[in-house]
Structure 1
Amino acid sequence: MDAEDLNHINQLLDHDVELREKIKDQVTELDKKARTMVGLLNKIHSTPSNLIPALLDSVRPTLDSCREATAGLAALVPPSQFWRWKDQWANALRTVIFAASLVEYLASGKLISLAQVSDILGIKEEWKDRLAISAEDYLHGLISLVNELSRLAVNAVTLGNFEEPIRISLFVKDLFAGFSMLNLKNDTLRRRYDSLKYDIKKIEEVVYDVSLRKLAAPPVNDTAPTTS
């Protein structure tokens, strides 16, 4: 290589390092917001059902502020380089999706759609070659939702909310049925999907105990959770 070629390559390498650091800074901001929401939402396990709306109101401002981080990422990622940089923010984004899906479930009892999450995070269609929510990241977020709801089914009973495990059971079983129709070829996603069986079993045990003690009416699967 001559000196001019070496200089050009060095400039490209320096640009990549600089871009990576800028993207990392935006991802760090998104991750901070995600962890803040998870910390607040963890209070659902010790919060009476009548106080849940107020708790969700405390989470929504942080969820809405995630738009700033996604806009910052979209501004940094060069056109047609989504898949090159996607792994940088995947974990933080999945946590945000989990938080958004949990807020939606607690507020309405419904399953949040991928389009709804994109709208909440301000992700625009014209960004699709730079920043988008992949189906894989969306599904990872929903699996985390089921993990959390299996905990809530147990803790709701300790708070005297005997109906919640039944609602959770119907919701999770319908969601699991939807997952079972997908062709999951990603190994990590497949393993996490398979683990949902343990969450469902845990929820079923709570529902059985509540029904056996006649603390709540047994579940009737006549109303499936719908995407709002």
Structure 2
Amino acid sequence: MDPLDLEKLNALLEHDVGVSEKIKEQVKEFDKKVRIIVGILGKIHSTPTTSMPALLDSVSPVLLSCRDITTSIAGAIPPDQFWRWKDMWSNSIRAAVFAAALIEYLRDGSLLSLPRASEILGIQEEWKDRFSLPVEDYLHGLISMVNELSRYVVNAVTLGNYEEPMRISNFVKDIFSGFTMLNLKNDSLRRRFDSLKYDLKKIEEVVYDVSLRKLVVVKPFQ
């Protein structure tokens, strides 16, 4: 091979290594923050309804601080190379979406939208060729939220919150209905969608138990 060609190839390899190391450093920090966030949110299962706002207020600043990391990652990615590097932070961003979606539901019972998730994480439209929130990662985050709610519904009843299973049931049914209308070609996403059926069944069993004991009046799903 021509020595000049080899020199150019080496320069390209060194550049790629440099980009990779910068991303790894930021993803490591991303993972640290996500672990803190998930750790705090794990307390929802033993937190009474009256104390929930304070718990959510304590985790929100940590979630919003992830904006610094997304900014740093976006700055490290060369133009038009998002899809080349995205797998390096996919797990981190899915976990962040999960946390944001769970907080959104616990605050006001609403579903976190894709644009709102991007906004919370500080993802800018002008970064789209370097860093964005893919639909697949957003949906993975929503599925993780439903997985967590299927566990939370049991603990809510234990804490005496008998209305929560009804709200979660209607909320999850709506999400499940939405997923059934999506054309899921991603194998991983399709397999995880199947888990929603088991989550919904578990939630409905709790609703049935609570209604059987006449702790609440079950209203038809609209």
The alignment's TM-score, normalised by the length of structure 2, stands at 0.98
Partner of 1:89: 89
Conserved in 2, the CA contact under 8 Å of 1:101 and 1:145?
yes
Partner of 2:104: 104
Q: 1: distance between equivalents of 2:33 and 2:155?
A: 25
Give the letter for the 1:221 counterpart.
F
Q: Share of identical aligned residues, percent?
A: 66
Q: CA deviation at 1:4?
A: 1.7
Give the letter for the 1:204 counterpart.
E
Give the letter for the 2:97 counterpart.
I
Give the letter for the 1:129 counterpart.
D
Partner of 1:204: 204
Conserved in 2, the CA contact under 8 Å of 1:71 and 1:123?
yes
Partner of 2:67: 67
Q: CA deviation at 1:60?
A: 0.5
Q: 2: distance between equivalents of 1:175 and 1:55?
A: 25
Q: 2: distance between equivalents of 1:115 and 1:137?
A: 13
1:26-175 alignment runs, 5 A limit: 26-175=26-175
Q: 2: distance between equivalents of 1:206 and 1:66?
A: 35
Q: CA deviation at 1:219?
A: 3.4
Q: 2: distance between equivalents of 1:189 and 1:219?
A: 32
Q: CA deviation at 1:206?
A: 0.3
Conserved in 2, the CA contact under 8 Å of 1:170 and 1:219?
no
Give the letter for the 2:112 counterpart.
I
How many residue pairs were aligned? 222
Q: 1: distance between equivalents of 2:175 and 2:6?
A: 54
Partner of 1:225: none
Q: 2: distance between equivalents of 1:104 and 1:214?
A: 29
Q: 2: distance between equivalents of 1:159 and 1:135?
A: 35
Q: 1: distance between equivalents of 2:158 and 2:168?
A: 15
Q: 2: distance between equivalents of 1:43 and 1:146?
A: 16
2:122 aligned counterpart, secondary structure: coil
Partner of 1:186: 186
Cα-to-partner distance string for 1:22-49 (whole Å, 9 max, x where unaligned): 0011111111111111000000000001
Q: 2: distance between equivalents of 1:221 and 1:108?
A: 19
Q: CA deviation at 1:220?
A: 2.8
Partner of 1:221: 221
Q: 1: distance between equivalents of 2:79 and 2:15?
A: 15
Cα-to-partner distance string for 1:141-189 (whole Å, 9 max, x where unaligned): 0000100000001111111111111110000000000000000011000
Conserved in 2, the CA contact under 8 Å of 1:123 and 1:132?
yes
2:148 aligned counterpart, secondary structure: helix
Q: 1: distance between equivalents of 2:84 and 2:46?
A: 41
The alignment's TM-score, normalised by the length of structure 1, stands at 0.96
Please list every run of 5 or more consecutive structure 1 residues that lacks an aligned counterpart in the other structure: 223-228
Please list every run of 5 or more consecutive structure 2 residues that lacks an aligned counterpart in the other structure: none
